[in-house]
Amino acid sequence: MATTMALRSFGRRTSIAARGFSSSCETEKAAKDGKPINLFSAINQALHIALDTDPRAYVFGEDVRFGGVFRCTTGLADRFGRSRVFNTPLCEQGIVGFAIGLAAMGNRAIAEIQFADYIYPAFDQIVNEAAKFRYRSGNEFNCGGLTIRTPYGAVGHGGHYHSQSPESFFCHVPGLKVVIPRSPQQAKGLLLSCIRDPNPSIFFEPKWLYRLAVEEVPEHDYMLPLSEAEVIRQGSDITLVGWGAQLSVLEQACVEAAKEGISCELIDLRTLIPWDKETVEASVRKTGKLLISHEAPVTGGFGAEISASIAESCFLRLEAPVARICGLDTPFPLVYEQFYMPTKNKILDAIKATVNY
């Protein structure tokens, strides 16, 4: 009896020490020494570290025990046991509600929604319960330990219900953090930051990159700052802003534009809310032109928020209207995916049109 109590208080003490806040992370780039791994392996590593460093962290969702449909949770159940890594029945609303309750008791609940297309039954729980908990209880309660991870975005053949990008629905909700990584090395650091951040966060993983993106990822525990955008390519003629898998398309467009003498500055937003206005504004003040690109439909997509905000703050500096190259205003199509997507050529045309305005 005394031993269990001692162990319990020991666990609580170590966990508090190990539970860093995301603001206490390395602002310098994590050292580029590591093994080349793909996105799902990087996320897997992050989850292993998260469960290892915090005995009160749990991973759950549909089919996660055997490793998950995208192999992100491989090995977790074997290493940490069934009580910490477990399958839930098929009910998204139940999964998120349950996760909020777990987080409200001071645990780190890492819930997986199998595809972002299925997150809508849980929308009420996320918007009305999770986002407003701290606010409406006057900081008496909070569900900061909540992190929802979900694969999003086109994958080439996903069709209507395996390709959606619902990030903008959640960007409209104060109280949440929405984070989207562009690569394995970013994903590991950002996911660990989300998990340790004392606010409920949603981590959208670009499913196209799960196997496709391979990068050198350090094996140690590191976190990357939230609400900080990263300028991944310096330029002087136009600012391009994007996130997730779309960045690789934007990068290709930058390379093509450079051949025509247009120097593009490329920014990865990384955190969508609260987003890093300063970095984008500083860049637009340098270039005078802005182009935003995302997979979600253009009307009401998060690009609209960035566009309006920049127009407000940098109106006199802008030399051309803000361009948005995004998905079309249709449901995500089945056979027409290549027409729907904001492709490199569409972006290139827009870059040229904006620069020559």
Partner 1 sequence: MAAAAARRVSCSLLRRDHRHLLPLLRPFASSAGGQPQLTVETSVPFTGHKIDPPSRSVDTNPSELLSFFREMSLMRRMEIAADSLYKSKLIRGFCHLYDGQEAVAIGLEASITKKDAIITAYRDHCIYLARGGSLVESFAELMGRRAGCSKGKGGSMHFYKKESGFFGGHGIVGAQVPLGCGLAFAQRYLKEGTVTFALYGDGAANQGQLFEALNISALWDLPVILVCENNHYGMGTAEWRAAKSPAYYKRGDYVPGLKVDGMDVLAVKQACKFAKEYALQNGPIILEMDTYRYHGHSMSDPGSTYRTRDEITGVRQERDPIERVRKLIVSYELATASELKDFEKEVRKEVDEAIAQAKESPMPDPSELFTNVYVKGFGVEAFGADRKEVKAVLP
**Site for partner 1, rule CB under 8 A:** 62-63, 66, 87, 89-91, 93-94, 117-118, 120-121, 157-162, 298, 323-325, 328-331, 333-336, 339-340, 345-346, 349-350, 353
Instruction: Give the amino acid at 87.
Output: N
Q: What is d(CA 62, CA 110) in angstroms, rounded to the nearest whole number? A: 12
> Is 219 designated active site?
no
How many CB atoms within 10 Å of residue 245? 26
CA gap 163, 150 in Å, rounded: 12
Residue 328: count other Cβ atoms within 10 Å of its Cβ.
Answer: 15
Q: Name the catalytic one among 48, 62, 92, 167.
A: 92
Give the nearer residue to partner 1 in terms of CB position, either 77 or 223: 77
Q: Quick check: helix, strand or coil at residue 221?
A: coil
Q: Which two tokens stand for residue 59?
A: 């991973």
Q: How far is the CB of 207 from partner 1 (least distance, A)?
A: 12
If the CB atoms of residues 8 and 157 are measured against partner 1, the closer one turns out to be: 157
Element (H, E) at 222: none
For the bound state, the minimum distance from the C-beta of residue 243 to partner 1, rounded and expressed in Å, comes to: 20
Determine the Cα–Cα distance for residues 88 and 298; give it in Å rounded to an integer: 34
Round to whole Å and give the CA distance between 118 and 73: 19
Query: Active site includes 162?
Result: yes
Residue 61 · residue 102 · CB < 8 Å: no
Least distance from C-beta 142 to partner 1, angstroms? 25
Residue number with CB closer to partner 1 (46 or 96): 96
Burial of 7 (0-12, 13-18, 19+ CB in 10 A): exposed
At residue 339, what is the residue type? F
E-only strand ranges, 145-300: 146-152, 177-179, 201-206, 214-217, 230-233, 238-242, 264-268, 271-273, 290-297
Return the number of the residue (44 or 307) whose C-beta is nearest partner 1: 307
Instruction: Considering the complex, state which of residue 149 and residue 162 has its C-beta at the smaller distance from partner 1.
Output: 162
Query: In the complex with partner 1, which residue's Cβ is closer, 77 or 229?
Result: 77
β-bridge partners, 205: 151
Query: For residues 174 and 331, which CB has a smaller minimum distance to partner 1 in the complex?
Result: 331
Residues 308, 285: Cα–Cα separation, whole Å: 15
Contact 43, 195 (CB under 8 A): no
Angle at 330 between CA 62 and CA 126, to 5 degrees: 35
Minimum CB distance to partner 1, residue 88 (Å):
8
48, 62, 129, 162: the active-site residue = 162
3-state helix, strand, coil in the chain (%, to 5): 40, 20, 40
Rounded to a whole number of angstroms, the minimum distance from the CB of residue 114 to partner 1 is: 9
Task: Find the shortest distance in angstroms from Cβ 21 to partner 1.
Answer: 35
Contact 47, 59 (CB under 8 A): yes
- The Cα 171–Cα 321 span in angstroms is 23
Q: How far is the CB of 15 from partner 1 (least distance, A)?
A: 29
Give catalytic residues, as residue numbers.
92, 162
